[in-house]
């Protein structure tokens, strides 16, 4: 751990090396965050089973400090979207995401969560959760094996390592707007698209008349 | 006695706890990062903790493991690549979620189709890793890869695999699936021999009247 | 018994005689059973249940026939004493389909009729609660009708022409004006639209809310939503519960949060393309799903499965059963509050079985192993550094039985488990049959009904095993039935490993990617770990199925959830749900 954190630019006298480490604030901040990413207990479909296997004894997610699966979004840092996102479910997912405190991360696990997967053509399937919440890491596969998910988690740690206190969004003065929660109408409606929906529906009606 | 059931259950947990140290003694410090120990731990005779220390040690993927498909090419002696794919389209037709796009190339002079794809795409955000493309390809040109470490930060650019990304040498395939490869090569060699024999036969038949 | 033998028997001679006015034999080519007039349905169904003894309504489904402007509702009824079943249909006008509801006779039809209403718009007269079930109230259109097109619609049937030979890659959302998989009716105005989605269900249970505590105290009844995101709903499942203090007064399941349009996609796929999709139904038991689907299509095709393939199938399916029951028990304990430890112990052996699946079929969970007329690959020579047969022998002779015994020792006599489970969620046998419950749920109520014995398929008639039943029908008995069944599965596996022919064909005929299936209908069913899994397939003689319906055991088993939970404490609801053992991939499809 000491090697991981120490800053090679600042020399430490030999006799103090055993007890003193000089590091940057960014490094220790990121190190502590990446070593205790708490995911949310959040399983959608088949991929959730592989996620549970990742957490079980064979692949043992606790080696990364991530075994503390939290059943509430308020205490979690990471949402693993594990499975097919349906239109009926997406309002809840967005709401859960809005309830998570910053810094928060999202992993799209598997083909379905990333881009719709084999069910993409279906009428009740959302072609990728990234249309609604920002995704940090995509893990391909159908389903990704536990090792593939672990690789995705390591990628997420890399991402955390690359962040700096100076420019992370959650310490900026401007407030973070929550993602507007989609609404279930005759079909799924994104509040950001209402104008477009109205316009297209009018066009379609005009076309039908013509 | 009330509580004996719980005690018996706790006995099982205690046994599990003790078992988790048995292998430690057996392998004395060599328990991890040691293929022999890994096989022992993961097999039917493994006892106690059977954790795989990913990423330092990885569970070996079995030969038939399926992940994303890839395309095979033969390497010619002069270093150029010879695609095995003839763009017959069977993989695109059999693909259940229809995630394969193939563009057939045409000969610029005659306009006839050439047995080589101009473009080949697989959208891995749709692919369901079912392995049909590999199973039904008559030319052994598309196979399922073992590389599952594909996590990325961006999908718009990285998740549609084009031909360049899909192309891999036959040697790579042979290293992934030695048994399958050997069996397929045997069949291919037989077919080649049959073809050659037919050709030679036809040639000798064609040559015969000239001699007369 | 070969796969070609029909499950659905020839028409019992007396039914058409009984009802000369309303019942005719279905004479379409490849079809079986009767067509019943809508006006006579209740009378005929009553006679089928009470006089002929078909007391178990397995599947209800709709089929759209736009050419004859009809929607057909198809019923499959069976006898719990075993034997083949009876298939009867009602035809309704497509423009205004109304059919009498059978919920009064067979309460197990409730959710299935709601599903037909949701997907086809068939109204069931006399249904107690006819709302959409998989989609939300307010959704526009009846998706399974043949003329209904989804926004990403490309072509009626696969393979799509755009993929080859001029395959230009394109994401479907790029060509959609909304950049998403959505469409709206013409002249739709989102600003003037008022949401009404959730009112129906609350209205339904609202009158029962009111003064609680038997009127002694002035307390209100409380409505609590459990799910869709909740750790103990085993996925995205929601229950709307009316509570009086901590006691459940009423409970309504809400599902569809994982409805991924399996059947609509399945009707566009070719027959073979559906095989990997079936993996994703009950994703803990993909091999069993493969088996059921293969059986129903093989029945239409009339293929005989080679000997070795049958043995491989049975081996895979029984190992799957062990996996699935292990999982069910582990997570039942999780629901009971024994967080993690029992679950971790229970799914340890599952990993070994998954290793075997991965080495044989290529994937841990989504095996896609079976083909029409056999299986895709033979066993590999070696698994890691061990001979596969040695591994298997070790697994089924030593390891699994030891693990099951250990689990038994660990849990069965635990006083906490017993006090939480005994007498909770009691389901009497008559009710279980009436509600079409299946699998361990039915057998724990003392009904000796296991398809492997009652209506043998594949080569189950050759193996020596017991059908496990328990008399009380509570959560504890369901747990015990699962333990017993795992033992029986191990016994079957041992017999398979000992008796499997070495070598020989594993697939009848040449591997074909585009099979034409003779016209007709077929209902193939197997004893899945969760219960009776059936596939109702209608073929028109082409390469794509006309109708592809899944009779999902988890879905039908949920029909009785509300009934069983009433009167229990809220903490028990979670346990009862865990003991029913649902998988949402199959509930919502």
Assigned domain for B61 exists: no
> Chain A partners of B55 at a C-beta cutoff of 8 Å?
150-151, 154
Buried b (16+ CB within 10 A) or exposed e, A19-46: eebeeeebeebbbebbeebebbbbbbbb
Ordered per-residue pLDDT tens for chain B, 212 residues: 788 888 998 999 999 888 888 877 877 777 788 888 888 888 888 787 888 888 888 888 898 999 999 999 888 888 888 888 888 889 999 999 999 999 888 888 887 888 888 888 999 989 999 999 999 998 889 999 998 988 888 888 888 888 888 888 989 999 988 988 898 889 888 988 998 888 888 888 776 665 44
Confidence of residue C454 (pLDDT cuts 50, 70, 90): confident
Please state the domain count of chain B. Answer: 2
> Chain C partners of B126 at a C-beta cutoff of 8 Å?
none
Helix (H) or strand (E) holding C427: none
Q: How far is A41 from chain C (nearest CA, A)?
A: 6
Write the DSSP symbol of residue C183: -
Query: What does the pLDDT read at residue C503?
Result: 80
Interface B-C, measured as beta-carbon pairs within 8 A, has a size of 160
3-state DSSP assignment of residue A37: coil
Asked if B39's CB is within 8 angstroms of C385's CB, the reply is yes
Q: How far is C413 from chain B (nearest CA, A)?
A: 5
Confidence of residue C73 (pLDDT cuts 50, 70, 90): very high
Assigned domain for B56 exists: no
Buried b (16+ CB within 10 A) or exposed e, A48-86: bbbbbbbbbbbbbbeebebeebbeebeebbbbbbbbbbb
> Chain B partners of C395 at a C-beta cutoff of 8 Å?
44
> Chain B partners of C360 at a C-beta cutoff of 8 Å?
64
Q: Do residue B24 and residue B82 come from a single domain?
A: no
Mean pLDDT in residue range C507-532: 88
Q: How far is B123 from chain A (nearest CA, A)?
A: 9
Specify burial of residue A192 (Cβ count, 10 A radius: 0-12, 13-18, 19+). Answer: exposed
Q: Which of residues 103-162 of B touch A (CB under 8 A)?
A: 123-129, 148-155, 158-159
Tokens 């549970």 correspond to A52
d(CA B71, CA B82): 11
> Chain B partners of C376 at a C-beta cutoff of 8 Å?
135
d(CA C113, CA C165): 43
- Annotate A131-196 with three-state secondary structure: HCCCCCEEECCCCCCHHHHHHHHHHHHHHHHCCCCCCCHHHCCCCCCCCCCCEECCCEECHHHHHH
CA distances from A5 to A22, A74, C577 (A): 8, 29, 48
Asked if C395's CB is within 8 angstroms of B44's CB, the reply is yes
Q: Looking at B64-197, which runs of residues are DSSP E strands?
A: 69-75, 81-83, 100-106, 113-123, 142-144, 160-161, 167-169
Q: Do residue B79 and residue B136 come from a single domain?
A: yes
Q: Which of residues 25-44 of B touch A (CB under 8 A)?
A: none
3-state DSSP assignment of residue C231: coil
Cis amide bond preceding C159, omega within 30:
yes
Q: Which chains have 3+ CB pairs within 8 A of A?
A: B, C
Query: In this structure, are residues B95 and B133 in contact, taking their beta carbons and an 8 Å threshold?
Result: yes
Asked if A148's CB is within 8 angstroms of B152's CB, the reply is no
- C335-361 pLDDT, tens digit each: 888 878 888 888 888 999 999 999 999
Spatial CA neighbour of C331 closest among C575, C588, C589, C558: C575
pTM for this prediction: 0.90
C146 to chain A, any CB pair closer than 8 A? The answer is no
Q: Do residue B32 and residue B136 come from a single domain?
A: no
Shortest CA distance from A193: residue in chain C: C178
d(CA C289, CA C269): 17
Q: Which residues are B7's β-sheet partners?
A: none
d(CA C391, CA A146): 23
**pLDDT averaged over consecutive 10-residue blocks of chain A (210 residues)?**
67 76 81 89 88 89 87 90 90 91 90 89 89 91 91 91 84 80 86 86 82
Asked if B150's CB is within 8 angstroms of A148's CB, the reply is yes
Tokens 């007391």 correspond to C55
Assigned domain for B34 exists: yes
Assigned domain for B119 exists: yes
User: CB count, 10 Å around CB of C6?
Assistant: 14
The first and second tokens of residue A134, run together, are 């920002």
Mean pLDDT in residue range C403-423: 90
Asked if B64's CB is within 8 angstroms of C358's CB, the reply is yes
Alpha-helical (H) ranges within C225-306 are 262-268, 274-279, 286-301
CA distances from C285 to A15, A50, C327, C390 (A): 61, 14, 11, 24
Please determine, for residue C8, whether its predicted confidence score (pLDDT) is greater than 70: no
Q: How far is A112 from chain B (nearest CA, A)?
A: 7
A171 to chain C, any CB pair closer than 8 A? The answer is no
Mean pLDDT in residue range C427-432: 90
Asked if B92's CB is within 8 angstroms of C164's CB, the reply is yes
Query: What does the pLDDT read at residue C2?
Result: 38
Asked if C359's CB is within 8 angstroms of B63's CB, the reply is yes
CA distances from A58 to A147, B36, C90, C253, C351 (A): 10, 17, 52, 34, 8
Query: What does the pLDDT read at residue A206?
Result: 84
Checking DSSP bridges between strand C23-25 and strand B160-161, what pairing results, if any?
unpaired
Q: Do residue B38 and residue B76 come from a single domain?
A: no
- Which of A138, A143, A161 would you mutate first to test chain B, the one with the most B CBs within 10 A? A138
Asked if C280's CB is within 8 angstroms of A187's CB, the reply is no
- Average pLDDT score over chain C: 86
Report phi then psi at A87, rounded to 5.
-65, -35
Assigned domain for B167 exists: yes
**Which candidate from A42, A87, A122 shows the least CB-CB separation from C229?**
A42
- B124-171 pLDDT, tens digit each: 989 999 999 999 998 889 999 998 988 888 888 888 888 888 888 989
> Chain B partners of C381 at a C-beta cutoff of 8 Å?
179
Asked if B150's CB is within 8 angstroms of A141's CB, the reply is yes
CA distances from C576 to C465, C533, C543, C582 (A): 28, 21, 43, 11
Query: In this structure, are residues A175 and B173 in contact, taking their beta carbons and an 8 Å threshold?
Result: no
Q: Do residue B32 and residue B108 come from a single domain?
A: no
Query: What does the pLDDT read at residue C206?
Result: 65
- C245-290 pLDDT, tens digit each: 888 888 889 888 999 998 999 999 999 999 999 999 889 899 999 9
Q: Which of residues 20-59 of B touch C (CB under 8 A)?
A: 39, 42-45, 50
Confidence of residue C548 (pLDDT cuts 50, 70, 90): very high
Spatial CA neighbour of A196 closest among C190, C151, C138, C153: C190
Assigned domain for B91 exists: yes
- Which of C155, C167, C265 would you mutate first to test chain B, the one with the most B CBs within 10 A? C167
Query: In this structure, are residues C288 and C317 in contact, taking their beta carbons and an 8 Å threshold?
Result: yes
> Chain A partners of B128 at a C-beta cutoff of 8 Å?
111, 117-118, 142
Q: Do residue B163 and residue B85 come from a single domain?
A: yes
3-state DSSP assignment of residue C177: coil
Query: In this structure, are residues A49 and A143 in contact, taking their beta carbons and an 8 Å threshold?
Result: yes
CA distances from C106 to C51, C71, C116, C431, C524 (A): 15, 21, 16, 10, 21
Tokens 């000798």 correspond to B204
Q: Do residue B114 and residue B152 come from a single domain?
A: yes
Query: What does the pLDDT read at residue C207?
Result: 58
Asked if A197's CB is within 8 angstroms of C184's CB, the reply is yes
Q: How far is C504 from chain B (nearest CA, A)?
A: 17
ipTM for the whole complex: 0.89
- Domain extent, residue B136, equals 69-185
Q: Do residue B113 and residue B24 come from a single domain?
A: no
CA distances from B35 to B30, B51, C78, C362 (A): 10, 13, 54, 22
The set of residues, in sequence order, having a beta carbon less than 8 Å from that of B134 and lying 6+ positions away, is: B66, B69, B142, B143, B144
Spatial CA neighbour of C536 closest among C554, C558, C520, C517: C520
A60 to chain B, any CB pair closer than 8 A? The answer is yes
d(CA B155, CA C83): 53
The set of residues, in sequence order, having a beta carbon less than 8 Å from that of A170 and lying 6+ positions away, is: A102, A103, A176
Asked if B95's CB is within 8 angstroms of C159's CB, the reply is yes
Asked if A118's CB is within 8 angstroms of B128's CB, the reply is yes
Q: Looking at C432-579, which runs of residues are DSSP E strands?
A: 520-528, 531-539, 545-551
B54 to chain A, any CB pair closer than 8 A? The answer is yes
Checking DSSP bridges between strand B167-169 and strand B69-75, what pairing results, if any?
parallel
Q: How far is C310 from chain B (nearest CA, A)?
A: 21
Query: What does the pLDDT read at residue C208?
Result: 56
- CATH code: domain of residue B109: 3.30.70.3270
A165 to chain B, any CB pair closer than 8 A? The answer is no
Please determine, for residue C318, whether its predicted confidence score (pLDDT) is greater than 90: yes
Asked if C153's CB is within 8 angstroms of A184's CB, the reply is no
The first and second tokens of residue B187, run together, are 């069949």
Query: In this structure, are residues C557 and C531 in contact, taking their beta carbons and an 8 Å threshold?
Result: yes
Asked if C261's CB is within 8 angstroms of A46's CB, the reply is no
Please determine, for residue C464, whether its predicted confidence score (pLDDT) is greater than 70: yes
Assigned domain for B47 exists: no
Alpha-helical (H) ranges within C178-305 are 199-205, 262-268, 274-279, 286-301
- Which of B65, B151, B153, B156 would you mutate first to test chain A, the one with the most A CBs within 10 A? B151
Q: Do residue B160 and residue B84 come from a single domain?
A: yes
> Chain B partners of C406 at a C-beta cutoff of 8 Å?
12
Assigned domain for B86 exists: yes
**Which candidate from A71, A123, A184 shows the least CB-CB separation from C138?**
A184
Q: Do residue B93 and residue B178 come from a single domain?
A: yes
Per cent of chain C over pLDDT 70 is: 94
Query: What does the pLDDT read at residue C553?
Result: 92
Query: What does the pLDDT read at residue B118?
Result: 86
Asked if A59's CB is within 8 angstroms of B126's CB, the reply is no
The set of residues, in sequence order, having a beta carbon less than 8 Å from that of C54 and lying 6+ positions away, is: C48, C77, C78, C79, C85, C86
**Which candidate from B49, B54, B128 shows the least CB-CB separation from A147?**
B54
Q: Do residue B73 and residue B172 come from a single domain?
A: yes
3-state DSSP assignment of residue B72: strand
The first and second tokens of residue A103, run together, are 């810094």
Q: Do residue B83 and residue B167 come from a single domain?
A: yes
């Amino acid at each position: 751990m000491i090697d991981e954190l120490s800053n090679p630019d600042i020399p430490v006298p030999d006799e103090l090396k055993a007890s003193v480490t000089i590091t940057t604030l960014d490094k220790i901040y990121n190190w502590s965050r990446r070593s205790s990413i708490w995911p949310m207990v959040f399983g959608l479909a088949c991929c959730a089973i592989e996620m549970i296997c990742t957490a079980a004894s064979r692949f043992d997610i606790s080696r990364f400090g991530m075994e503390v699966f939290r059943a509430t979004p308020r205490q979690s840092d990471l949402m693993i979207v594990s499975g097919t996102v349906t239109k009926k479910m997406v309002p809840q997912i967005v709401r859960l995401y809005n309830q998570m405190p910053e810094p928060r991360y999202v992993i799209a696990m598997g083909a379905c969560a990333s881009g719709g997967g084999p069910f993409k053509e279906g009428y009740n399937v959302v072609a990728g959760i990234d249309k609604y919440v920002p995704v940090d890491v995509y893990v391909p596969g159908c389903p990704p094996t536990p090792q593939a998910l672990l690789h995705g988690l390591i990628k997420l740690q890399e991402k955390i390592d690359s962040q700096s206190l100076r420019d992370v969004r959650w310490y900026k003065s401007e407030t973070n707007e929550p993602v507007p929660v989609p609404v279930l109408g005759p079909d799924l409606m994104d509040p950001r698209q209402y104008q477009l929906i109205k316009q297209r529906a009018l066009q379609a009606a005009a076309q039908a008349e013509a | 006695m009330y509580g004996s059931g719980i005690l018996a259950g706790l006995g099982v947990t205690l046994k599990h706890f003790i078992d988790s140290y048995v292998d430690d003694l057996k392998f004395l410090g060599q328990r991890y990062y040691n293929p022999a120990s890994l096989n022992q731990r993961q097999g039917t005779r493994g006892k106690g903790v059977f954790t795989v220390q990913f990423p330092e040690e990885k569970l070996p993927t079995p030969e038939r493991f399926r992940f994303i498909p890839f395309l095979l090419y033969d390497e010619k002696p002069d270093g150029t690549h010879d695609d095995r794919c003839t763009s017959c389209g069977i993989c695109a037709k059999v693909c259940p979620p229809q995630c394969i796009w193939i563009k057939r190339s045409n000969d610029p002079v005659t306009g006839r189709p050439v047995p080589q794809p101009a473009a080949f795409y697989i959208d891995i955000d749709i692919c369901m890793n079912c392995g049909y493309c590999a199973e039904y390809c008559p030319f052994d040109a598309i196979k399922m890869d073992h590389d599952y470490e594909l996590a990325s930060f961006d999908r718009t650019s990285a998740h549609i695999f084009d031909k360049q990304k899909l192309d891999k040498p036959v040697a790579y395939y042979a290293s992934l699936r030695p048994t399958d490869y050997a069996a397929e090569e045997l069949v291919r060699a037989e077919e080649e021999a049959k073809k050659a024999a037919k050709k030679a036969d036809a040639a000798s038949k064609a040559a015969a009247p000239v001699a007369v | 018994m070969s796969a070609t033998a029909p499950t659905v028997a020839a028409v019992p001679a007396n039914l058409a005689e009984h009802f000369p006015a309303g019942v005719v034999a279905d004479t379409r080519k490849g079809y079986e059973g009767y067509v019943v007039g809508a006006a006579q349905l209740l009378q005929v169904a009553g006679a089928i249940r009470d006089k002929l003894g078909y007391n178990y309504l397995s599947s209800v489904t709709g089929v759209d026939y736009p050419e004859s402007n009809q929607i057909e509702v198809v019923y499959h009824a069976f006898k719990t004493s075993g034997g083949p079943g009876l298939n009867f249909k009602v035809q309704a006008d497509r423009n205004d389909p109304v059919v009498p509801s059978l919920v009064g006779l067979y309460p197990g039809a409730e959710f299935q009729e709601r599903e037909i209403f949701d997907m086809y718009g068939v109204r069931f007269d006399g249904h107690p609660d006819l709302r959409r079930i998989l989609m939300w109230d307010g959704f526009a259109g009846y998706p399974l009708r043949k003329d209904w097109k989804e926004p990403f619609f490309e072509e009626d049937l696969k393979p799509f022409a755009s993929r080859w030979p001029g395959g230009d890659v394109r994401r479907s959302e790029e060509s959609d004006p909304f950049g998403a998989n959505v469409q709206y009716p013409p002249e739709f105005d989102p600003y003037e639209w008022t949401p009404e989605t959730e009112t129906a269900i609350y209205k339904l249970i609202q009158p029962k809310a009111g003064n609680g505590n038997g009127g002694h105290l002035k307390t209100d009844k409380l409505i609590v939503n459990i799910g869709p995101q909740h750790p103990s709903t085993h996925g995205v499942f929601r229950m709307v519960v009316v509570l009086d203090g901590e006691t459940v007064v009423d409970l309504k399941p809400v599902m569809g949060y994982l409805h991924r349009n399996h059947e609509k996609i399945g009707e566009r796929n070719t027959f073979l393309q559906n095989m990997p999709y079936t993996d994703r139904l009950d994703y803990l038991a993909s091999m069993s799903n493969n088996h059921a689907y293969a059986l129903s299509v093989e029945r239409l095709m009339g293929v005989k499965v080679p000997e070795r393939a049958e043995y491989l199938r049975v081996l895979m399916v029984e190992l799957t059963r062990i996996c699935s029951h292990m999982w069910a028990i582990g997570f039942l304990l999780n629901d009971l509050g024994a967080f993690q430890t029992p679950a971790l112990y229970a799914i340890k052996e599952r990993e070994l079985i998954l290793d075997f699946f991965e080495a044989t079929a290529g994937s841990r969970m989504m095996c896609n192993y079976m083909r029409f007329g056999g299986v895709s690959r033979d066993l590999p020579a070696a698994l890691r550094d061990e001979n596969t047969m040695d591994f298997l022998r070790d697994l089924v002779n030593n390891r699994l039985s030891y693990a099951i015994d250990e689990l038994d020792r660990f849990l069965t006599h635990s006083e906490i488990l017993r006090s939480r489970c005994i007498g909770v969620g009691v389901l009497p046998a008559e009710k279980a049959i009436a509600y079409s419950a299946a699998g361990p749920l039915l057998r724990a109520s003392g009904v000796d009904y296991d398809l492997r014995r009652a209506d043998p398929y594949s080569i189950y008639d050759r193996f020596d095993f017991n059908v496990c039943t328990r008399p009380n029908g509570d959560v504890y008995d369901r747990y015990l039935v699962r333990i017993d069944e795992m033992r029986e599965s191990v016994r079957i596996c041992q017999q398979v490993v000992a008796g499997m022919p070495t070598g020989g064909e594993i697939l009848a005929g040449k591997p074909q990617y585009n099979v034409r299936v003779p016209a007709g209908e077929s209902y193939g069913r197997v004893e899945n770990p969760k219960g009776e899994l059936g596939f109702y397939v209608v073929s028109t003689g082409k390469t794509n199925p006309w109708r592809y319906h899944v009779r999902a055991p988890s879905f039908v088993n949920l029909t009785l959830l509300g009934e069983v939970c009433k009167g229990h404490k809220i903490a028990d609801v979670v346990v009862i749900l865990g003991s029913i053992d649902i998988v949402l991939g199959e509930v919502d499809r």
